[in-house]
Every structure is written in structure tokens, then in C-alpha cells.
Amino acid sequence: MPESISDYYNFDEEVISQAFLKHRPKKVLVQLPEGLKHFYPTLLEKLENISEGLGLHNIEFHIDASPIYGSCLMDLTLTSRHDLVLHFGHKEYPYWSPPQNVVLIDLQYKGMPTSQTIQDLVRELVEEGVKRVGIYGTAQHDIGKIAEAFKREGIDVANDASRAVIFGCWYSDLPSLQGAEAYIIVAGGEFHALGAGLALGGTGKIYALDPYTNSYSFMNPYIEKILRKRYYLLMKAEDMSSFVIIAGICGQFRPAVINRLKSLIQSKRLKYTVAEAPYVTKEALGNLDNPYVDAFIVTSCPRLPIDDLSDYHKPVLTPGEAFMVLEGSMGRYIYPW
């Protein structure tokens, strides 16, 4: 019996039923985040059962095999070829609304960090003199429930759990939260905790709490290491004169950021070219690169320069970093723009 996504996640079948009844689709595209795509056989079977139960027969279900890192980016040619798109596992990206035929389905992870793990983390917080925290996390986790567990252990929570969902380049009210002495980021791995640290410009204590591995880690040494590397690249980019600005699509198309970069570069009498790319890889940069390009600025996904392209042989900057260089304001680290 193949594994089912329902073994690990809850989702609201009623939302799916309503979507089927509203769109009465003949063709449905199913989008799953990276890491969960392999669950498609049992999921498609379940979706077929739901639609059959509603009297909707012979629907053709397709799985979207393109990379799905968030609700910020989807292949609109593909979505337009289907009557209905079921996008699992992400909330709506704050800077973009998907087309009308896309329905976002929440996935709630069934596991929670154990009381023992929370107590161990609380002990570490208390040793550090922390009594009040901000707790944020990705959409798959019940932040309200986890915040309650911390409160039961005597730790105050400074933020509102209903606004605690974060994205890799959007941190809700975390950067302006008052009174938190540390931040706990509930998510798989360290990606979002690193982003929170960058969004705070390297100030503030950050702990990553991972419900999948039931473990936590103090992130600041790692964040400082990444920041040292970023500042090294910024120093290299300071006297550069020719840039390629990468523009993305869907929620990753940011005209205001691109226009600000263009004006700044023009005002300094430097050069730029705008390159349009839905996905950016090292190979794509290599194909664009030539002796007249000094640095790249990625305005699509600001995590690519940090996570995927940091070892490219020329500086690849986030928009925030490019503003720091072009405005000569190297003091506080700016993330994402």
C-alpha cells in the first residue's frame, strides 16, 4: 500500500468538494510542494473518490511536475489549460493572487514538537534570560497550539498567532514586533529561520523549531556566518559598473523593485540589462554571463542568491543587497528589499 499524504497531513475535503462543485471541471491540475509530490498516486485516488461522490465523472487529473516552492510562482500556461487547479500546502502569497481557477488547500502537519522538546527549549531560553518570544512558522503548522505550549511552560508570547504565518521572503509583523527577546520559527529545516534572521538584519536571537524532526537549534552562529559571506560579496560588488537585473514572473515579478534599481543605476551612470526568467539557475546565469557583466541582481526569488547561487564566480545579489551597494548604506543588512 503506497504512503498517503493523509498519513502526515490533514486537509479540508470540504474545500475540495466546494471547488469541484463550483468549477465542475473536466481537467484538474494538482500542485504539490517539493518533497510531497511523490504522494500523488493516493492523493489522485482520493480526489477521484471525492468527485465521483459528488456525481462528477470522468475528470482527468494531472500532476504538475514543475518545481513548486510557494504560491508565488506557477506556470500560467499550464494552469490555463485546466479547468481547476488544486494547489496544496501554501497560503496565498502576500504580493500576488493566483488566477481564479486556482484553489489553495491548506495542509496541516499532524505532528507536534513533544512536551520534552518544548521544555528543553524553554530551559535554554530561561538560561539566556529570555521570558518573552515571538513565535512564527510556515502554513503547515499549528502555531497557536505551539504558542499555548510555550505559555504553559511560563514563556510569554508577544505576537498574535493568527498573523504568524511567514514565507521565505515575507515575515508578517516579525520585523516590527515589540517586546520579544527571541524568535522561535516553526518550520521544517532552517530555511525560514535563516530568513527571519536576515529580515532582522542579524539582530535578535533566533531558534528554529522543527516539528518533523522534533528538534530545535539556535540559529545565530549560522546566520552570522551567512551574513559574513554576504558582506564579503557586497564589498566585491561596491565598485562594479555593469549589472544584469533578473526579473521573474507571477508573484515574483516586482516592477517597483526593478524600477527603483534601474533609477539608482542610471543615476550613477552605470549600466544594466534586464533579463526575464521564470526560474534562475547557475546554468542560466552562465549562459547570460560575459566579460561586461560585473554582478547579477535577482529580483524574482530573493532566496536564490543566498541559498542556490552564493558560490557563483561573480556577485549575485538580492534586491536588498543591491540597494545597500548602490545607495552606499552598508550598515544594517537589508532583506529582502
The contact pattern for ligand SF4, residues 165-184, with x = CB under 6 A and - = no contact, is --xxx---------------
What gap in Å lies between CA 211 and CA 189, rounded to an integer? 9
Q: Which is nearer to ligand SF4, 70 or 211 (CB)?
A: 70
Is residue 252 a contact residue for ligand SF4 (CB under 6 A)? yes
Written as one string, the DSSP assignment of 259-285 is HHHHHHHHHTT-EEEEEE-SS--HHHH
Q: In the numeric block, which cell numbers belong to residue 213?
A: 524532526
Question: Is 230 near ligand SF4 (CB under 6 A)?
Answer: no
Which residue's Cβ lies closest to ligand SF4?
168
Looking at beta carbons only, is 72 or 316 nearer to ligand SF4? 72
CB of residue 167 to ligand SF4, shortest distance in Å? 4
Contact 280, 298 (CB under 8 A): yes
The interface mask with ligand SF4, positions 264-303, x = CB under 6 A, is -------------------------------------x-x
Contact call for residue 254 and ligand SF4 (CB under 6 A) = no
Half-sphere exposure of 131 (CA within 13 A, CB side): 1
Examine residue 72 and tell whether it contacts ligand SF4 (CB under 6 A).
yes
Give me the least distance between CB of 252 and ligand SF4, in Å please.
5
User: How long a stretch of residues is the chain?
Assistant: 337
CA 171 to chain centre: 9
Angle between helix 255-267 and helix 319-327 axes, rounded to 10 deg: 20
Helix (H, G, I), strand (E, B) or coil at 235: helix
- CA distances to 113, 171, 280 from 254, rounded to whole Å, are 37, 17, 15
Q: How far is the CB of 33 from ligand SF4 (least distance, A)?
A: 10
| Contact call for residue 68 and ligand SF4 (CB under 6 A) | no
Task: State the residues that interact with ligand SF4 by CB under 6 A.
Answer: 69-70, 72, 93, 167-169, 252, 301, 303
